[in-house]
Amino acid sequence: MKNFIRKQLEKLGINLSRSAMTLGLTPLSDIYTILNRLRPQNNGWELIRIGATGDGGYLIPDDLQGVRNCFSPGSDLLWDFENTLAKRYGIKSFICDSTDKRPPNLSELQDFTEGWIGPATVVGQAISVGDWILSKNLTDSDMILQMDIEGAEFLSVLALSETDLLNFRIIVMELHFLEGLKNRWAFSLVYQPFFDKLLAHFDVVHLHPNNCCGTWKYANVEFPRIIEVTLHRKDRAKVTLSESKIPHVLDSDCVPSNKPLSIDWELISPKGIRR
């Protein structure tokens, strides 16, 4: 099985050493490095909330001039984000999910595709983000990607070409199963290549813990299992990056009845590391 997975990853340009395929715990230093790369930065753009208060609403930079299209895989009957983009900015959204998850009362500015997003297109099973974009015959180089696909985000992004990736100005993504960072094999197999690919071209401008599913712990680290992260393409930055203050005033808990979650960034910063 490991050889099969290795071959599939090599097709995506991910080469793993034998040691990376060894089961065990990820070194603490690697965990700290990844988490600190997710610390939100101020790039000079004000953040605005698009969508509902609570689940279905996200903070993004107020950099929407010239944006005409949004790709939004994973709707689960919610379309507050896409509806706000349409009504406030005239932005069209392409939504993809199973038929039973189709949001009701879609307008002409919402295009629904039945299916699931995955790393490769398999007829009747999944469609890749790249093939989905290609099917819409767009020429945009500045779009939004809003992705919530229950863990399929990692391999789906790894399979995305750099050209398609850079056609997105703003990416809002819900990241799942972050407790898997502790597993050395999963870290090398999926998480590190995923974050390296994104963060080479995008700055993290906001991060919000989803309080639906609690936290995971590793040494002195405690971190949410699910986070909502907003990325802004590096060429859009107005100023030299500086650390943002979080939580943001526009943040809202996804599950009001659950305990709010917070992240102690100082504890997991280099000066806070306890080995």
How would you write the chain as a 3-class SS string?
CHHHHHHHHHHCCCCCCCHHHCCCECCHHHHHHHHHHCCCEECCCCEEEECCCCCCCEEEECCCCCCCEEEEECCCCCCHHHHHHHHHHCCEEEEEECHHHCCCCCCCCEEEEECCECCCCECCCEECHHHHHHHCCCCCCCEEEEECCCCCHHHHHHCCCHHHHHCEEEEEEEECCHHHHHEHHHHHHHHHHHHHHHHCCEEEEEEEECCCCCEEEECCEEEECCEEEEEEEHHHCCCCCEECCCCCCCCCCCCCCCCCCCCCHHHHCHHHCCC
Q: Which of 194, 267, 274 is nearest to 36 (CA)?
A: 267
Residue 133's pLDDT is what? 96
Q: Which of 54, 109, 108, 56 is nearest to 80 (CA)?
A: 56
CA-CA distance, 206 to 141, in Å (whole number)? 22
- Out of 3.30.70, 3.40.50, 3.90.700, 1.20.1280, select the CATH number for domain 45-272: 3.40.50
Residue 143's pLDDT is what? 98
Residue 23's pLDDT is what? 59
Residue 10's pLDDT is what? 57
Residue 55's pLDDT is what? 83
CA-CA distance, 175 to 149, in Å (whole number)? 9
Q: How confident is the model at residue 137 (pLDDT cuts 50, 70, 90)?
A: very high
Residue 20 has pLDDT above 70, yes or no: no
Rounded to 5 degrees, what angle do the CA atoms 82, 96, 142 make? Answer: 55
Domain boundaries, the chain: 45-272
What are the two backbone dihedrals, phi and then psi, of residue 249, each rounded to the nearest 5 degrees? -60, -25
Q: What is the mean pLDDT of residues 193-200?
A: 98
pTM metric for this prediction: 0.89
Q: 């995955």: which residue's tokens?
A: 118
Residue 2's pLDDT is what? 45
Residue 7's pLDDT is what? 54
Residue 32 has pLDDT above 60, yes or no: yes
Percent of the chain with pLDDT over 70: 89
CA-CA distance, 66 to 139, in Å (whole number)? 13
Higher-pLDDT residue of 15, 36 = 36
CA-CA distance, 55 to 33, in Å (whole number)? 29
Hey, what are 144's tokens? 């939004």
